[in-house]
Amino acid sequence: MGHPSGGGVIDFTSEDFWSGTRRPLDQATGLPPVAYTGDDFFEVEQHRLFARSWVAVASASEVAEPGRLLVRSVGGTSVLITRDRDGVLRGFINSCRHRGTELTSEDCTVSRMIRCPYHRWGYALDGSLVASPLFDEVPRADFDPAELSLLPVRAETWGLDVFVCLDEATPPLAEWLGDLPERMAGYGFDGWVAHQKCTFDVAANWKLITENFQEYYHLAWVHPELAKVSRVRDHYRYQGPGLYCGQTTTPVSSDERDDWLVLPNAPGLDSSDSVSGRFVAVFPNLTLAVLPGHAFVIRLEPLSSGTTREHCTLLLPSSTPAEQYGDAAAETLKFWIEINNEDIDICERSHRGLALGGAPPGPLSPRFEEPLHRFQNMVADCMTANSLADGLRIPPGDGPDAGPRYGCGPNPALPSIDARRWSATG
């Protein structure tokens, strides 16, 4: 519940709050300012959205080795992610089954066991309780280690990232992602390697950052340099069924600046992937910019209504020769950091306007902002649904017939999955 300045209480879980979002795109408005700036809204959103969604928590390569142990906060719950001796990815609630103590407070590597620092209870990497020192000195009849395993949390990988979900009722990750794994299968993400990481704390709500990523309306004014290699007229939508919003630049041009094409292509890309940049915002908190020879991935960690930590990773295909790791990767990373800084500046300004001015939501552009409408309806679904088992609509993808809203005419190198889908639907 929230209290607007004029008194009364707003119920963020009621469809009434989302009426502007629920209208068709050509009548829809953006989200009300309180959805970005309200601490009450943030609280409800943590529970209803982040504690029930598949949330990106790490690069897959961060937990590639058995015994690596990551700590992440998801929807206000502390979660451990590890890989057991059999290579199985595991997620647990970060709380000891004895008296609830936090097991670890930072990423680390353990040899065989996760040890509680308090009374040294020890858990194998599959979560089972395997040590409880001195506990048997005066035995209890009801003490059964098999009932005192760490509480499991759903954890899965797709592509470049690890996802966890705190709610058993939420559909499986494969359903969540829809056609995205098949759509991007040609990149062979399993073999990609995290090359450089950096973090930024941004004074803006997390939704502003992903929404900004989802539209290229701002391209020419916010990123004059990027617009030289990623021209507005070369953008098309890149959306099949699934909880993501996507666009593609086809072709990526190298005639004016080539700093995002200096790295060699991943092997075996088809005629569409090899000439395109894919820009995909996976709901809720991951953005992927995938070029033929590298990817720049941002994971958003909401810290408060007005602060978001960006975890940025530059990834390269494993085929990239080591001699390219120096200058070419550095040049690529520098390019992305510059672009990202421009985005951070405009998102912080956007947040200030909403927080300190708070104009009512305006119209979304049907030409450029359909992905935001798609995203905002996913947010609305999470906030209003009693359960994500049936309350979350997986949006359908684009069809062949939506005309200029999907780009500037037909994509000259249509993604193969769309070519197949569209010819099947006639």
The span from the CA of 103 to the CA of 95, in Å, is: 6
- Identity of the residue, 121 or 187, whose beta carbon is nearer to ligand FES in the bound complex: 121
Minimum distance from residue 404 beta carbon to Fe ion (Å): 22
Minimum distance from residue 146 beta carbon to ligand FES (Å): 17
Q: Could you say which of ligand FES, Fe ion, none residue 312 binds, taking C-beta under 5 to 8 angstroms by partner kind? A: none
The span from the CA of 185 to the CA of 182, in Å, is: 5
Q: Could you say which of ligand FES, Fe ion, none residue 101 binds, taking C-beta under 5 to 8 angstroms by partner kind? A: ligand FES
The residue of the chain with the least Cβ separation from Fe ion equals 343
- Identity of the residue, 123 or 283, whose beta carbon is nearer to ligand FES in the bound complex: 123
Q: Could you say which of ligand FES, Fe ion, none residue 99 binds, taking C-beta under 5 to 8 angstroms by partner kind? A: ligand FES
Can you give the chain as a three-state secondary structure string?
CECCCCCCCECCCCHHHHHHHHCCHHHCECCCCHHHHCHHHHHHHHHHHHCCCCEEEEEHHHHCCCCEEEEEEECCEEEEEEECCCCCEEEEECCCCCCCCCCCCCCEECCCEEECCCCCCEEECCCCEEECCCHHHCCCCCCCHHHCCCCEEEEEEECCEEEEECCCCCCCHHHHHCCHHHHCHHHCHHHEEEEEEEEEEECCCHHHHHHHHHCCCCHHHHCCCHHHHCCHHHEEECCCCCCEEEEEECCCCCCCCCCCCCCCCCCCCCCCHHHCEEEEEECCCEEEEECCCCEEEEEEEEEECCEEEEEEEEEEECCCCHHHHCHHHHHHHHHHHHHHHHHHHHHHHHHHHHHHCCCCCCECCCCCCHHHHHHHHHHHHHHHCCCHHHHCCCCCCCCCCCHHHHECCCCCCCCHHHHHHHHHHC
Q: Could you say which of Fe ion, ligand FES, none residue 352 binds, taking C-beta under 5 to 8 angstroms by partner kind? A: none
Q: Does 215 bind Fe ion (CB under 5 A)?
A: no
Minimum distance from residue 285 beta carbon to ligand FES (Å): 31
Q: Could you say which of Fe ion, ligand FES, none residue 163 binds, taking C-beta under 5 to 8 angstroms by partner kind? A: none
The span from the CA of 85 to the CA of 65, in Å, is: 9
The span from the CA of 260 to the CA of 265, in Å, is: 11
Minimum distance from residue 116 beta carbon to ligand FES (Å): 3
Minimum distance from residue 123 beta carbon to ligand FES (Å): 10
Binding mask 310-349 for Fe ion (x = CB under 5 A): ---------------------------------x------
Q: Could you say which of Fe ion, ligand FES, none residue 98 binds, taking C-beta under 5 to 8 angstroms by partner kind? A: ligand FES
Minimum distance from residue 2 beta carbon to Fe ion (Å): 30
- Identity of the residue, 119 or 257, whose beta carbon is nearer to ligand FES in the bound complex: 119
Q: Could you say which of ligand FES, Fe ion, none residue 343 binds, taking C-beta under 5 to 8 angstroms by partner kind? A: Fe ion
Angle between helices 370-384 and 206-214 (to 10 degrees): 150
Give me the residues that bind ligand FES (CB under 6 A), please.
96, 98-99, 101, 116, 118-119, 121
Q: Could you say which of Fe ion, ligand FES, none residue 121 binds, taking C-beta under 5 to 8 angstroms by partner kind? A: ligand FES
The span from the CA of 199 to the CA of 182, in Å, is: 30
Q: Could you say which of Fe ion, ligand FES, none residue 187 binds, taking C-beta under 5 to 8 angstroms by partner kind? A: none
- Identity of the residue, 273 or 343, whose beta carbon is nearer to Fe ion in the bound complex: 343
- Identity of the residue, 129 or 388, whose beta carbon is nearer to ligand FES in the bound complex: 129
- Identity of the residue, 119 or 309, whose beta carbon is nearer to ligand FES in the bound complex: 119
Minimum distance from residue 71 beta carbon to ligand FES (Å): 16
- Identity of the residue, 343 or 369, whose beta carbon is nearer to Fe ion in the bound complex: 343
The span from the CA of 417 to the CA of 73, in Å, is: 35
Minimum distance from residue 85 beta carbon to ligand FES (Å): 22
- Identity of the residue, 118 or 221, whose beta carbon is nearer to Fe ion in the bound complex: 221
- Identity of the residue, 199 or 341, whose beta carbon is nearer to Fe ion in the bound complex: 341
Minimum distance from residue 6 beta carbon to Fe ion (Å): 34
List interacting residues with Fe ion (CB under 5 A). 343
